Amino acid sequence: MKVEVRINGRSVAAEVEPRMLLVQFIREVAGLKGTNIGCDTTSCGACTVLLDGQSVKSCTMLAAQADGLDVMTIEGLAPDAGDGSAPGATALLHPVQRAFHEHHGLQCGFCTPGMVMAVTSLIAEAEPGSLDEAAVRVGLEGNLCRCTGYHNIVEAALAAAREAGVAAGATE
């Protein structure tokens, strides 16, 4: 069947089997390898992408279910440099990426793309003043870091939440 997904603003169309998973479509058809396959069982969150702005685990969706919809992967998160270069190809970072960089919110890095996308979704749908440390930890329950480097991931998420004005007690 023909599946067409807008990935990071670019339309990607292909003839695929109905059983192709969205994460396979992203990695093998669109060639975007930033989205990792970890557990392949909806547990670890390494394959988290945004579907119409909401975080989803792309190992537990068919590509067919995303047909005609908008997907954003880690490659599409950085702002457009405005010089014709591909998103992510420059030093420009999305605020969540910058927070992970500044707070060293990673160790081996395998979970990082999924963590960043999950944090981006968490902040986008948070009510103002709602994200404290407990809310961030609960909000990231769908993402596992096998290095157990959660402390700095949570610090990064809180910093990004403060910048977005949704952190508890934020004064911005």
| Interface ranges with other proteins (CB under 8 A) | 1, 17-21, 24, 40-43, 45, 48, 51, 54-57, 60-62, 64-65, 67, 118, 121-122, 134, 138-139, 141-143
Alpha carbon separation from 137 to 4, 69, 88, 163 (Å, rounded): 35, 29, 27, 18
CA–CA distance from 2 to each of 22, 27, 38 (Å)? 13, 17, 27
| Shorter beta-carbon distance to other proteins: residue 118 or 167 | 118
Minimum distance, C-beta of residue 100 to other proteins, in the bound complex (Å):
18
- What does the alpha-carbon distance between residue 97 and residue 120 come to, in Å, rounded to a whole number? 9
CB of 47 to other proteins, least distance (A): 9
Backbone angles phi, psi at 100, to 5 degrees: -65, -40
Q: Are 22 and 65 within 8 A, CB to CB?
A: yes
Nearest-approach distance from CB 55 to other proteins, in angstroms: 5
Alpha-carbon distance of 172 to 169, in angstroms, equals: 9
Closer CB to other proteins, 24 or 36, in the complex? 24
Comparing CA positions, the residue from 111, 92, 98 lying closest to residue 156 is: 98
Kindly state the smallest distance separating residue 7's Cβ from other proteins, in Å.
18
Residue type present at position 128: P
Shorter beta-carbon distance to other proteins: residue 1 or 108? 1
Between 90 and 130, CB nearer to other proteins: 130
| Closest separation in Å from C-beta 121 to other proteins | 7
Looking at the Cβ atoms of 55 and 73, the one nearer to other proteins is 55
